[in-house]
Chain A
Amino acid sequence: MSAAFAAIWLPANPNAAISLAAGQILSALNFFFLARLVKLFTGSARMEDRGTAESMRGKGLLLGGAKLAVVYGGAFAVTRWRGIEYLPLMLGLSMPLLAIFLKSIMLALPAGAAKFSRRATSTASPSRSQAKLAASILLVGALTLPLALLGPARAFANDPPAAATAAEAGHADGSAAATTAEAGQGEAAHGEEGKGESGEAHLPNWITIANDYAPNNPVVHWMHENEFLVFAWLAGAIFLILVKVVMKRSAPVPGHLQNAIEWIVESMEDVCGGMLGKHLPKYFPFIMAIFFYILFMNLIGIIPGFKSSTSNVDVTLALALVTFLSVQVSGMINLGPLGYLDHLAGSPRDVIGFCMLPVMIPVHVLGELVKPVSLSCRLFGNIFGEDTLIVVFVGVAAFCLKASLLALAVPPMAGITALFMLLQTLTAIVQALIFSLLTTVYLYMMIPHESHAHEEGGHAH
């Protein structure tokens, strides 16, 4: 994949492409030598009879010397070359690191899941979680729809007549019309603020490369304008394919992938079930769809050449508005119109409560309105912050490379970047968890509480 990444860039920007390839090769060589060294020494510790310690030491010195010569010499030679571009080189250096890192996550996740889910799989039948996953698929489709309509609205925000047509198209759509219209308004309001942050440095991704390659192609240009939308679709598509594969190959004894997903679904079910009680089956697919969608959108940003769509306010705002509307509508359904008004008024039960009514109603309404803002800002801020952090670190490493004497500091910098990518993974998972858990909490607030208390009593048995 990384080779193709470099190759596509070649005609448009040859220097950058060569830098990228050089970085990849150097880093891969580095890892190759490291692996050989480690294997040599651990092997010698285990099997003394294979060779004498002296020859081992000689081999180790030889390998170490070769590594130093090839890798650092190569790095030095690359920095001597005039046409070099440093950001792509750093990206290339970090790519093999990332491949190893992602592989380790892939290995660690199912292993951990297998350990944890021994207990869970014995109690829950696989078909139940599959049904939930199927429902989640449908809901992801529903979630992507407003996003899909939101993207064009963003593109047309500068052009009022076009925006009007976009809004009309949204109304014609029917099911998602309300969401889209509101999201579009939020969009228009946000349009002016968004201008300020456009000067931010970004790592190159597939779409910017394609745009370098064919700047006049309308499709590529559209994708470049709406890259967050494209990556959001991509995340949704990956999720759909993954779940489809898992469901098709579902076995009584689950494999790695199925086990991992079932573990996630079942532990989330435990957590949400504690809050929602008997209302769980109604809302669980929605919560899980949000969780997986956000999770995949967050995690996709770690792969080089891709970008988290959640590092854009528009996307998180759309997600938060979907959550907000579903919470309000479910509140009206669950509590009834009068009960909903009662909830908004803070459930007055005595004289003092009714006297406080003019104060309490605005406070509660404001409290409801702040929820989507806080949800979207939290998700956006975290993901965007992590992304910016990594861009800054890659930039620092590139600066070290530019001052060629500091070139030896580059491999540690790449390591630090990889560490921050670990942090980014953690943030991605935790933020998806927080978003879906807060959705659960908001839904729980909209459930009639006496029935919930009863259910809690039953649940404890």
Chain B
Amino acid sequence: MNFAATLGLALPIGIGLAAIGSGIGLGFMGRGAMEAMGRQPEVLPKIQVAMIIGFGFIEALTIYAFVTMFILSGKIQ
């Protein structure tokens, strides 16, 4: 198995794994935020802002994998 073939197999799998992790994280985050909103609707804007920032952080992990894929995908010949 040469370098290009290894890369070609590893890149999609890596992105998939990153997406799974981010999905789980987003799920926990969304669940917590929704429960908090349901429990205390009066602080809804604050929770939303915190939720969006948190989403940004979690989502960034998948984006890193995505960027890595674009950097490395040029090496698959």
In contact, A196 and B49 (Cβ under 8 angstroms): no
Closest to B76 in A: A196
| Alpha-carbon gap, A379 to B20, bound state (A) | 21
Task: Determine the chain B residues whose CB is within 8 A of the CB of A197 once the complex forms.
Answer: 70-71, 73-74
In contact, B66 and A199 (Cβ under 8 angstroms): no
Q: In the complex, how many angstroms separate the beta carbon of B24 from the nearest chain A beta carbon?
A: 19
Task: Determine the chain A residues whose CB is within 8 A of the CB of B45 once the complex forms.
Answer: 270-271
Number of interface residues of A (CB under 8 A): 23
Closest to B53 in A: A437
| Alpha-carbon gap, A385 to B65, bound state (A) | 12
Q: Output the residue of A193, A274, A378, A430 with the most chain B CB within 10 A.
A: A378
In contact, A196 and B60 (Cβ under 8 angstroms): no
In contact, A437 and B49 (Cβ under 8 angstroms): yes
Residues of B18-77 at the interface with A, using a CB-CB cut-off of 8 Å, are 45-46, 49, 52-53, 55-56, 59-60, 63-64, 66-67, 70-75
Task: Determine the chain A residues whose CB is within 8 A of the CB of B67 once the complex forms.
Answer: 377, 380-381
Q: A195-B74, A270-B45, A434-B52 are in contact. Are A385 and B66 (CB under 8 A)?
A: yes
Residues of A406-442 at the interface with B, using a CB-CB cut-off of 8 Å, are 430, 433-434, 437-438, 441
In contact, A437 and B52 (Cβ under 8 angstroms): yes
In contact, A274 and B73 (Cβ under 8 angstroms): no
Q: In the complex, how many angstroms separate the beta carbon of A120 from the nearest chain B beta carbon?
A: 12
- Verify if A129 is at the interface (C-beta below 8 Å from B): no
Interface residues of chain B, those whose CB is within 8 Å of chain A, are 45-46, 49, 52-53, 55-56, 59-60, 63-64, 66-67, 70-75
15 sampled A-B residue pairs with Cβ under 8 A: A193-B71, A196-B71, A196-B72, A197-B73, A198-B74, A271-B49, A274-B46, A378-B63, A381-B66, A382-B59, A385-B63, A433-B52, A437-B49, A437-B52, A437-B56
